[in-house]
Amino acid sequence: MDNIRIRPLRADEIECRIGTISEKGLSLLLYKDARADMRILDETFGCFGWKRTHQSIDGNLYCTVELWDGEKQEWIAKQDVGTVSYTEKEKGQASDSFKRACVSVGIGRELYSAPFIWIPAQKCHVQRKNDKWICYDKFAVTDISYNENREMTGLTIVNQDTGEVVYSMFPKNPQKAIQNSQFNDFYRELDRTGVAMDTVLSRYGVARPEDLSPELLTKALNSLKRTKTKSA
């Protein structure tokens, strides 16, 4: 299991939620959802290579995610507890504990490197209601890049209501950002076509996606784009 690498989240797998809000604007927090966790677990370990269980301890709901280690021939477990949701309490705790356990596995840890994201009032519709500042705008991450330590180096967020770019963090290394952007497209094409990661890596004679040179990554991406979707 030592040679297994969990990929970072793609832009379309990251959710934006409003943190604080005032008449001057609002802050955004970045999250992942349980569907992204399940997708990455399936991609990395296979649909039969992982499992989840839930148990209540002292009134709190815990989730245990177990991964099959073929070398040791045993299950490796990671556990975490969920927080209380104000709506659908049990369902909320179950989902939250699963997402937290997946962070323990290594999925989405790169979100901890996210910068402070502030959206000025000029780029969103902040309004006063019942002595509180509110905003119903929806925001989405459209582009993201990471460095070799899985830390965010580039981030673009748009207001889905207006289509305007409301936040942009430019990478310090543009060439590396281009490659990371290609990796995001590469994983998206694998998901669309249903082509196995091992098939692509074997074709280009490398052991891990990170071992693909920029030239090989471009070739692999172009080949996938010419491949029909798995449902076609």
Q: For 22-32, what is each residue's pLDDT tens digit?
A: 999 999 999 99
Segment holding 225, helix H or strand E: helix 214-225
Mean pLDDT of 192-218: 82
Q: Is 5 within a domain?
A: no
Q: Is 232 within a domain?
A: no
Pick from 5-14, 199-208, 220-229: least confident = 199-208
Mean pLDDT of 143-156: 90
Q: Is 86 within a domain?
A: yes
Q: Is 151 within a domain?
A: yes
Mean pLDDT of 55-77: 92
The model's confidence at residue 107, banded by pLDDT at 50, 70 and 90, is very high
Give the pTM.
0.70
Residue with tokens 């990170």: 210
How much is the pLDDT for 88?
47
How much is the pLDDT for 179?
61
Distances (CA, A) of 216 to 10, 180, 182, 203: 20, 14, 11, 10
Residues of the domain holding 49: 11-225
> Is 87's pLDDT higher than 60?
no
Closest CA to 180 of 207, 206, 155: 155
User: What is the total count of domains within the chain?
Assistant: 1
Q: Is 104 within a domain?
A: yes
> Is 72's pLDDT higher than 50?
yes
Q: Report the distance separating Cα 190 and Cα 225, nearest Å.
A: 9
**35-46: burial string, b at 16+ Cβ within 10 Å, e else:** ebbbbbbebbbe
Closest CA to 94 of 34, 17, 37: 34
> Is 166's pLDDT higher than 90?
yes
Q: Is 4 within a domain?
A: no
Closest CA to 80 of 59, 106, 50, 102: 102
